[in-house]
Structure 1
Amino acid sequence: MSNTYYTNKNVLITGGAQGIGLGMALAFAKAGANTVITDKDEEAGQEAVQRLEQEGQKVIFIHCDVSQEQEVKALLQQVGEKYKQLDTLINNAGIADPFVGPLQEMDMAVFDRVLAVNLRGPLLCAKYALPLLAKAEHPAILNISSTRAFMSEPNTFPYSASKGGLEALTHSLAVSLTEERVRVNAVAPGWIEVGEWQKQSERYEPHHSKEDKAQHPVGRIGMPEDIAEAALFLCSDKAGFITGQTLTIDGGMTVKMIYG
């Protein structure tokens, strides 16, 4: 990928106000993209704009709850009015807290809400972004999944189900959008430390033990920058022969056998 590939490319990142989404927003903006972030958290969105401006980068923030069809439709209308086309859609928005307690105590409203944001949201965004993506030379969609799509801790039913569904949605979209030339891939992050990438009221200084780091063959916890670098590649023309795939980015954690 050349240093100028993203110059004047138009990129939309959902859930872009905090965490991995904010890390990707900074990376794409630095690479020259016209970067739009959307988030349900208005406070985080405004802070994100200010933070990236301090880094010398300009992004646009648009409030949106990706589980709501009319809000997604309005979001893409605004993007289309400003940029006429969309080169890259990154479906990152999601409810990230995976634990819901024992199955017999689970509130089904929680399950429904998680799937609405984590799975329905990416589908809605793809639907309404498609006319704009189809106008681009190398259009791409990237879904942010999770290693919890294929491995679990107890009592994480909604999150695991939503990310497993997102894996399937990724390859389904990839084989369905061929006429529009849209490549669709996913990344599955493992343990990514986002403490320093949260809005101010929720920011914290990370502390990781030797045991935490030792769970990863690379010897450290992941950072948003690790996901951002992969996103820059997968959404570029250099990944033009890659579609329908999921790249696991977890420092090797899911391939290490741990006996306890």
Structure 2
Amino acid sequence: MVNTQSKNIIITGGARGIGRVIARHLLSQPLGHRVFLVDLNAEELEYVVTKHLAAYAPRVGSVVANLRNPRAIREAVAKAAEFFDDRIDVLVNNAGIARAFFTAGNGTMEDEATAEQWQEYLDVNLSAPFWMSQAVIPFMKAQNPKIEGKGELKQDGVDRTTDLKRTAEFANLPLDLHGKDRIDEGGCIVHITSFRAHVSDPDCEGYGSTKAGLLGLTQSMAVSCQRWGIRVNAISPGWVHVVHECREGDEAAASTQGAPHEEEAKKVRLETWKDGLKELYHRQHLVGRVGLGEDVAEAVEYVMGAGFLSGQEITLDGGASKRKNPDV
């Protein structure tokens, strides 16, 4: 179902790249969505809020946070909740280590020098989405009148030590959490994973395994979060070309094309985003092109409004993973 209500949305890794495009796309919709960006890069975050998204300033908040730190995550979510008047509708767990390959030592898992990078992948790509989700749940529960309380799970005396004994809890789960008119899609958590959860290149153990782990987290969370009326889904992009989605890219477009940051800059981006990409890269995709950040943003918008969608993965790779030999 198409979104029909204004949403309060947290986006991690929102200062540049895919996260920035998601924020810009959602803010540009007529519903008046509000967005709160969480990012580690203070300089880029300040730029995107005060310059790139300046036209939406009253509806944009932000905080600098290290997502490897659970306490910093809770503090960031608390600031977002304050910005949103204690109601969070959507969490987009987009932040992650974009580098697909080990670079420490000789760049292979054989080298013990990769141990630190392995842990970094785990912390940022897998643990951080769990910690972010954990922190937003109380503020997503609060919006649903059928869910009691906004803190800990109600202690109802149900023994949860085995699957068999959990049937008592299952039998008492509230129905029609999103309303019989389907207008309220309920709380929504979106994990941005990667098609590399399914296919790989050499030396991608850190990246690929944490992205695959995020799919497992999506399924588990979707079942657990049912009790709070929260849907959980994953979007797995393939090759999405967003190196120009940053301050440096904006300034380059402005200087070479005479375009300001928006709306003229948007036109320039759409005309020049393929610059530097070989024709082969586009031919590797069944749709004949590499992905755009807007492709992911539109998928996020769909998932936000799809009230019957939970526990699912949307693979958004232009069909690249379906071709037997991607170099042909």
TM-score range, shorter chain: over 0.9
SS at 1:85 equivalent: coil
Structure 2 residue ranges without an equivalent (≥5): 145-185, 253-272
> For residue 244 of structure 2, what is the aligned residue in structure 1?
196
The question of whether the paired residues in 1 share the 8 Å contact of 2:187 and 2:229 is answered with: yes
The question of whether the paired residues in 1 share the 8 Å contact of 2:236 and 2:315 is answered with: yes
Identify if the C-alpha distance between structure 1 residues 64 and 226 changes in structure 2 by more than 3 Å, giving closer, same or farther.
same
> For residue 11 of structure 2, what is the aligned residue in structure 1?
13
Give the TM-score, by structure 2 length: 0.74
Match status 1:158 vs 2:157: no
Identify if the C-alpha distance between structure 1 residues 144 and 232 changes in structure 2 by more than 3 Å, giving closer, same or farther.
same
Q: Output the CA distance in 2 between the equivalents of 1:6 and 1:115.
A: 35
Q: Output the CA distance in 1 between the equivalents of 2:326 and 2:2.
A: 44
SS at 1:104 equivalent: coil
Counterpart of 1:246 (choices 302, 305, 313) is 313
> For residue 121 of structure 1, what is the aligned residue in structure 2?
128
Q: May I ask how many residue pairs the two structures share in their alignment?
A: 255
The question of whether the paired residues in 2 share the 8 Å contact of 1:195 and 1:203 is answered with: no
The question of whether the paired residues in 2 share the 8 Å contact of 1:196 and 1:203 is answered with: no
- The percentage of counterpart residues that share the same residue type is 31
Structure 1 residue ranges without an equivalent (≥5): none
The question of whether the paired residues in 2 share the 8 Å contact of 1:6 and 1:28 is answered with: no
SS at 1:179 equivalent: helix
Q: Output the CA distance in 2 between the equivalents of 1:194 and 1:104.
A: 32
> For residue 72 of structure 2, what is the aligned residue in structure 1?
71
User: Which residue identity is paired with 2:290?
Assistant: I
Aligned-pair CA distance for 1:89: 0.3
SS at 2:190 equivalent: strand
Match status 1:103 vs 2:105: no
Aligned-pair CA distance for 1:173: 0.3
Aligned-pair CA distance for 1:6: 4.3
Identify if the C-alpha distance between structure 1 residues 203 and 149 changes in structure 2 by more than 3 Å, giving closer, same or farther.
farther
Identify if the C-alpha distance between structure 1 residues 203 and 163 changes in structure 2 by more than 3 Å, giving closer, same or farther.
farther
> For residue 148 of structure 2, what is the aligned residue in structure 1?
none
Q: Output the CA distance in 2 between the equivalents of 1:25 and 1:202.
A: 16
After TM superposition, the structure 1 stretch with the greater mean CA deviation from structure 2, 133-142 or 241-250, is: 133-142
Aligned-pair CA distance for 1:258: 1.0
The question of whether the paired residues in 2 share the 8 Å contact of 1:216 and 1:253 is answered with: yes
Match status 1:256 vs 2:323: yes
> For residue 279 of structure 2, what is the aligned residue in structure 1?
210
Counterpart of 2:298 (choices 217, 226, 229) is 229
Q: Output the CA distance in 2 between the equivalents of 1:245 and 1:167.
A: 9
The question of whether the paired residues in 2 share the 8 Å contact of 1:20 and 1:194 is answered with: yes
Identify if the C-alpha distance between structure 1 residues 51 and 216 changes in structure 2 by more than 3 Å, giving closer, same or farther.
farther
Give the TM-score, by structure 1 length: 0.93
Which has the higher Rg, Structure 1 or Structure 2? 2
After TM superposition, the structure 1 stretch with the greater mean CA deviation from structure 2, 98-107 or 242-251, is: 98-107
